[in-house]
Amino acid sequence: MSGSNKEVENPASSEGEAKKEKPKTQIYLFFGSQTGTSEGICSALSSHFKSTGLVPEVVDLEDWDEDTHEEWSEKIRDPDSLSLFFMATYGEGEPTDNAQEFVKRLKEGDGFEGVNFGVFGLGNTQYEFYNAMGKLVNEKLESNGGVRVVEYGMGDDDKNLEEDYEQWKEEKLLPAVTKMFGTTSSSASSGKPENEVKVAMGSSSSTSSTPNPSSKYLWDAVPCKVGKNRELLQDTLSDANSTRHVEVTMPKSVKYYTADNAGVLAPNDSAIVAKMAAKVNQKLSDSFTLSSSSGRIPFPSPCTVEECFSFYCDLTTPPRRSELKNLANYCQPGLTKDTLLRFATKEGKEAFESKILSPYVGWGQLLTDLCKDVDLSLEDVINLLPRMQPRYYTISSSSKVHPSSMHLTVAVTKGVNTATSKPYAGLCSSHIAESSKLRVFVKDSTFRLPDDSKPIIMIGPGTGFAPMRAFLQERVARKAKGRNVLFFGCRREKEDFIYKDEIEAWESSKNVEVHKAFSREGKEKVYVQHLLSKESALVKELLELGASIYICGGTKMGKDVVDAIKKSVGEDVVKQLTADKRLVQELWA
């Protein structure tokens, strides 16, 4: 396995000729990313370094595994190179999927002696294990003999991660890079960068390209038909809320485990897709083929311009400031270029927030409205735009009971943009609510049922009930002997008690014991954590019988629930339960 997502190829050691042609990598940019933020940071940073004459290489940590460990270790121990790690944290302080193997090798310890490194952690203070991965990688690289060349930095996605990153970049990273590599020339900064991914119009099928690991899901997502689709809220009028129960029929090739996650790709709005095609002077039906010097391509091809702008490029999310700087490299000198460059500076931050971020101006609108005068080819745009990110939903059905369909429980996001006073709807949740076809793929989850004899305690208020519904279906079908205890919560019994009929049927057939918290029915607000405190003796009793605890819902609820359990059974027990994977959480901020 060649093992790298190269932007610049390394010299082939046996070929003297190649050595002369290919510049040696000076800065490795490794990313551990789940939803693309650290990957986006690396690619913008790579463009920046290139523009100053340095030779960077962006590497997906997916490429660092048992087979490639030695190869990477040798590369990054080159004393003339610097390795930067951009690490996001997930789950209970765990690495992203693509960084699992790398973190395993790092914990084992060998192969990092003398590595010049810097780490930036990406996290969110709403989670208990804030930036655990960034901190771990930073500490382990040092304790394994690495040399910290750039001070550790981290960003908080609950506040302003981009600002944290920009500050770290300006104050810590760039001075350290200048110190290590000397003053770098900025001669290349005014020119258009060389595109890594190449586009050939037509449907040549002779390419031998393989997927970029970080966007492999774009190959995995398959079109599925939607069967039943019904409203779960009894009262949808009060504040225009809606929660849908959607049944997705899968082709035979798609399998899932009970309570896995479904990744859903929602297409961009067709009007903006058409505008983008016109912007790059292509017809929607034109097809093209991708290639790149590394052999890795960012999305399936051959494909049509329509597919590319509908499913593979994110046209909806606003760009980051650092990405605007990159876009400016594609502009001729003039007002647009100056504006983009100004947005990317400290002084232009407020203007960027009021003109781009607050009104939620996505990439599509930016390129077709605000950058009308900027001449961009299809190839330029594919290299500039971030990939479409999937949204994940915990599957709310059992694969034993429903082997050929997966059920989704989806709260439809709606609101009014305070900057523009215009209503908005979440791209993916409204797509799921309204479509007869969805592009879906399956992703492993941390929720796994224990032995049928063991009790389970499920805490799932609101749509957090999704995996619990899957568990209940499965346990009932398996006639599991272990007790099923559910803590469910919502506002009011007659308003948003989702799956009320199913829960009550399981309750009356003695398949589940339910503790319900209706937060807005009494004088005092009652939440699931209050019920858990009240039922402390029951929780202890079930834990003694070997129960597993599952928590799903918002981060605030998760924290309060874990605190309530800590109060009942003590911190050490909770620590042990977590280590044994008998206390598992899937939370969203």
Which of the stretches 13-21, 34-42, 445-453, 534-542 binds ligand FMN when contact is defined by CB under 6 A? 34-42
Instruction: Please spell the DSSP secondary structure of 85-153, one letter per residue.
Output: EEEEEETTTEEPGGGHHHHHHHHH-TT-TT-EEEEEEEE-TTSSSTTHHHHHHHHHHHHTT-EE-S--E
Q: Which residues of 141-179 are buried (b: 16+ CB within 10 A; e: fewer)?
A: bbebebeebbebbbbbbeeebbebbbebbeebbbebbee
Give the residue nearest to ligand FMN (CB). 123
Q: Measured from the CB atom, is 96 or 365 closer to ligand FMN?
A: 96
Beta-strand ranges (E) seen in 203-338 are: 210-211, 222-231, 243-249, 261-265, 287-292, 296-297, 303-304
Out of 3, 53, 93, 554, the only residue in the binding site for ligand FMN (CB under 6 A) is 93
Which of the stretches 83-91, 163-171, 225-233, 269-277 binds ligand FMN when contact is defined by CB under 6 A? 83-91
Which of the stretches 84-92, 98-106, 110-118, 488-496 binds ligand FMN when contact is defined by CB under 6 A? 84-92
Q: Measured from the CB atom, is 155 or 267 closer to ligand FMN?
A: 155
Closest CA to 407 of 228, 254, 551, 585: 228
Kindly state the smallest distance separating residue 516's Cβ from ligand FMN, in Å. 26
Residues 445 and 394: beta-carbon distance below 8 Å: yes
Residue 185 per-residue DSSP state: P
Per-position x/- string for 118-157, each x denoting binding to ligand FMN as judged by CB under 6 A, each - no binding? ----xxx--x-xxxx------------------------x
Q: Measured from the CB atom, is 305 or 577 closer to ligand FMN?
A: 577
Beta-strand ranges (E) seen in 254-382 are: 261-265, 287-292, 296-297, 303-304
Kindly state the smallest distance separating residue 514's Cβ from ligand FMN, in Å. 26
299: amino acid identity, one letter:
F
Q: Measured from the CB atom, is 164 or 307 closer to ligand FMN?
A: 164
Dihedral-angle region of residue 566 (phi above 0 means left; psi in -120 to 50 means alpha; beta otherwise):
alpha
Query: What phi and psi values does residue 134 have, to the nearest 5 degrees?
Result: -60, -45
Does 386 interact with ligand FMN (rule: CB under 6 A)? no
Does 215 interact with ligand FMN (rule: CB under 6 A)? no
Does 38 interact with ligand FMN (rule: CB under 6 A)? yes
Out of 42, 161, 280, 290, the only residue in the binding site for ligand FMN (CB under 6 A) is 161
Torsion 161-167-170-171 (CA) sign: negative
* Number of residues lying near ligand FMN (CB under 6 A): 23
Q: How far is CA 389 from the centre of its chain?
A: 7
How many whole angstroms separate alpha carbon 453 and alpha carbon 509? 18
Does 264 interact with ligand FMN (rule: CB under 6 A)? no
Out of 219, 257, 360, 588, the only residue in the binding site for ligand FMN (CB under 6 A) is 588
Q: What strands lie across the sheet with 287-292, from one edge to the other? A: 197-201, 287-292, 303-304
Q: Measured from the CB atom, is 156 or 513 closer to ligand FMN?
A: 156
What does R_g of the chain's alpha carbons equal in angstroms? 25
Torsion angle of alpha carbons 564, 565, 568, 574, nearest 10°? -140
Out of 2, 10, 35, 413, the only residue in the binding site for ligand FMN (CB under 6 A) is 35
Does 446 interact with ligand FMN (rule: CB under 6 A)? no
Which of the stretches 35-43, 274-282, 283-291, 294-302 binds ligand FMN when contact is defined by CB under 6 A? 35-43
Kindly state the smallest distance separating residue 118's Cβ from ligand FMN, in Å. 17
Kindly state the smallest distance separating residue 536's Cβ from ligand FMN, in Å. 26
Does 261 interact with ligand FMN (rule: CB under 6 A)? no
Which of the stretches 28-36, 99-107, 141-149, 296-304 binds ligand FMN when contact is defined by CB under 6 A? 28-36
Does 447 interact with ligand FMN (rule: CB under 6 A)? no
Which tokens in the block code for residue 260?
């896995």
Kindly state the smallest distance separating residue 287's Cβ from ligand FMN, in Å. 30
Out of 25, 27, 36, 68, the only residue in the binding site for ligand FMN (CB under 6 A) is 36
What residues make contact with ligand FMN under the rule CB under 6 A? 33-38, 88-91, 93, 96, 122-124, 127, 129-132, 157, 161, 588
